[in-house]
Amino acid sequence: HTTTPHYYRQARVEESEEAFSRRCADELEALILAEGPETVAAFIGEPVLGTGGIVPPPKGYWTSIQAVLDKYDILLIADEVVCGFARTGEKFGSHLYNMRPDFVTIAKGLSSAYLPISGSIIGDRVWSVLEQGTEKHGALGHGWT
């Protein structure tokens, strides 16, 4: 994994939010290069950190991260389980932070957590691949689950 974008906990002394965001993006890029860009399919992130105490990202974080992902043609998956469905004031947290996710995970807000339900929203980039279909079915040959 890469650095958690928790500015309060992770920033260096006198490091601005923007500088911290750039450092996070630089560390992500270094990790991608170390692993080999061809081996990295996607980056999964919460628009707002749910596990860190509902922590908003530092200024410029998602813009910096998106630039790295675009450079290496890596998908962005926005985990909206906690902050989706207007919990940030926008329909989705990714809207608030101008993210461009290829895939969005949703859950709790679908039923106000009364029922165990979840879903995924996929963009054209992912859908165009699924739409082509394949004759190569493995253990999940019954469908796209």
Question: Is 90 exceeded by the pLDDT of residue 16?
Answer: yes
The whole-number pLDDT of residue 98 equals: 92
* pTM score of the predicted model: 0.86
Residues 6 or more apart whose Cβ sits within 8 Å of residue 119: 105, 106, 107, 110
- Give me the chain's average pLDDT, please: 89
Cα separation, 114 vs 125, in Å, equals: 32
Cα separation, 50 vs 66, in Å, equals: 20
Query: Where along the chain do its domains lie?
Result: 7-132
At 85, list the tokens: 């469905």
Answer whether 95's CB lies under 8 Å from 87's CB: no
Q: What is the pLDDT of residues 38-77, one digit of tens each?
A: 999 999 999 998 877 888 999 999 999 999 999 999 999 9
Answer whether 48's CB lies under 8 Å from 90's CB: no
Of 51-55, 79-83, 141-145, the range with the lowest mean pLDDT is 141-145
Q: Which residue has the higher pLDDT, 125 or 37?
A: 37
The topology (CATH level 3) of 7-132 is Aspartate Aminotransferase; domain 2 (3.40.640)
The whole-number pLDDT of residue 44 equals: 95
